[in-house]
Structure 1
Amino acid sequence: MTAVLVVDDDPHLLRALRITLQAHGYEVSTAADGRTALLKAMQEPPSVVILDLGLPDLDGTAVIRELRGWSSVPVLVLSARHGSEDKVQALDAGADDYITKPFGLDELLARLRAVLRRSIEPARDSVVSAENFTVDLGNHRVSHEGQDIRLTPTEWKMLEVLVRNPEKLVTQQQLLSEVWGPAYAKETNYLRVYMAQLRRKLEPDTANPRHLLTEAGIGYRFMP
């Protein structure tokens, strides 16, 4: 059974989400603050985390950053903050998707399924070698000189789409549709944030990328 950790300081929302998710076949645990959430995620690793940003002890973005220090579990952010800056900060910290309150349960369930698909979708066996890193598509591993490079599920999916199309231009719309789904075709901020994260992890010189190239206003290209 898929285990979901729901983190929110609103007891009524926690109860509603627990009932809804359990009714749809998920195993649900809850936490009302960031420290409790991190402890639960460490003791009983969930399949996915649903996280509110406005927590009483830690900001949700700080929770994501701490979680990303040792886990690549998918994180779906819930928040009453509607500004694009808050969304970018959450994505930059390592969140996989973002939904603002109030939200429809059908949309939440759809986004939950999407982040889970991105984290477990099997890849066809092949290894792609670039000058500065190696991508093992079959085993979902990225390495540099024998050392693993940790990617979040969304970072992995974005990189996978690019390396499966070496030297080809992958449009912004294609990337958004394949990684996040057709409903995200205009969310180009997502691409900017995740490309910056991938470059920080994979490029020796992020200011002058060698492998992950931008075609301004059009898309991206992977060069081995």
Structure 2
Amino acid sequence: MEHILVIEDDPAIRDLLRRGLTYENYKVTTANDGASGLAAARDNPPDLVILDWMMPGLDGLEVCMRLRAASNVPILMLTAKDSVPDRVLGLESGADDYLVKPFAFPELLARVHALLRRTQPSSKPEILKYADLQLDTGTRLAKRGDRQFELTAKEYDLLEYLMRNPRQVLTREQILDRVWGYDFGGESNVLEVYIRYLRQKTEANGEPRLIHTVRSVGYVLREE
């Protein structure tokens, strides 16, 4: 049974999520503030975290960054903030997905299913290779030469898509649809944020760039 940790200070929403997710056969742990949520995640590591942004004391952004520093657990952030800059800020803090309140429970459930599915090891693990870059679909770990590095759930999805389509120019729309499953809006720079994350990790030791920008179109995985 997969374990979901809900960190939410609104008792009505917290109870809705606890009852709804339990009905869907998930094990659910709840916390009503950031500090107790971090303690719960440490004591009983969850398979996924549903995290409220606007909490007194330790807010969701800080909790998200601390969770992300400790593990690659998928994080679904809930918030009433719905502007593009707010969405990007939430994703930059380490969240894998973002849902604006008020939300429909079936949509939340679909997001939960998608995030958990992406973290499941492939039934037939592969080692994807391009140049000196490798991606293990079983362990979800990446390597550049002999240097191994970890990826968050969204970073993995993005890199896997690029590596399954090397030397092909992929448009922003194709990538957003395939990796995020819905459109963040034409002015959102969430994709650029995650491309930057991947470049930081794949070029950490000064390795040659493999992920290139095709101006006004999208991105391509290729050697210079």
TM-score normalised over the length of structure 1: 0.90
Q: Does 1:214 align with 2:213?
A: yes
Aligned to 1:202: 202
**Do the aligned partners of 1:211 and 1:223 also contact (CA within 8 Å) in 2?**
yes
CA distance 1:209–1:96, change in 2 (3 Å): farther
Distance, in Å, in 2 between the alignment partners of 1:209 and 1:215 is 17
Aligned to 1:128: 129
**Do the aligned partners of 2:121 and 2:140 also contact (CA within 8 Å) in 1?**
no
Amino acid in the other structure paired with 1:62: E
**Do the aligned partners of 1:34 and 1:60 also contact (CA within 8 Å) in 2?**
yes
Q: Deviations over 1:137-165 (max 9, x none)?
A: 34321124544312101110100000111
Amino acid in the other structure paired with 2:112: L
Q: Does 1:73 align with 2:73?
A: yes
**Do the aligned partners of 1:177 and 1:185 also contact (CA within 8 Å) in 2?**
no
**Do the aligned partners of 2:140 and 2:150 also contact (CA within 8 Å) in 1?**
no
Amino acid in the other structure paired with 2:209: R
Aligned to 1:9: 9
TM-score normalised over the length of structure 2: 0.90
Amino acid in the other structure paired with 2:216: G
Greater displacement, 122-131 / 168-177: 122-131
Which of structure 1's runs of 4+ aligned residues deviate more than 3 A?
144-147, 185-188
Aligned to 1:42: 42
**Do the aligned partners of 2:130 and 2:166 also contact (CA within 8 Å) in 1?**
no
Q: Aligned pairs, how many?
A: 221
Greater displacement, 49-58 / 170-179: 170-179
**Do the aligned partners of 2:125 and 2:136 also contact (CA within 8 Å) in 1?**
no
Distance, in Å, in 2 between the alignment partners of 1:174 and 1:146 is 31
CA distance 1:71–1:204, change in 2 (3 Å): closer
Identity %: 39
- Partner of 2:70, secondary structure, is coil
**Do the aligned partners of 1:81 and 1:100 also contact (CA within 8 Å) in 2?**
yes
Distance, in Å, in 2 between the alignment partners of 1:179 and 1:115 is 11
- Long gaps (5+) in structure 2: none
**Do the aligned partners of 1:173 and 1:185 also contact (CA within 8 Å) in 2?**
no
Greater displacement, 49-58 / 188-197: 188-197
- Partner of 2:112, secondary structure, is helix
Note the aligned Cα RMSD (angstroms): 2.2
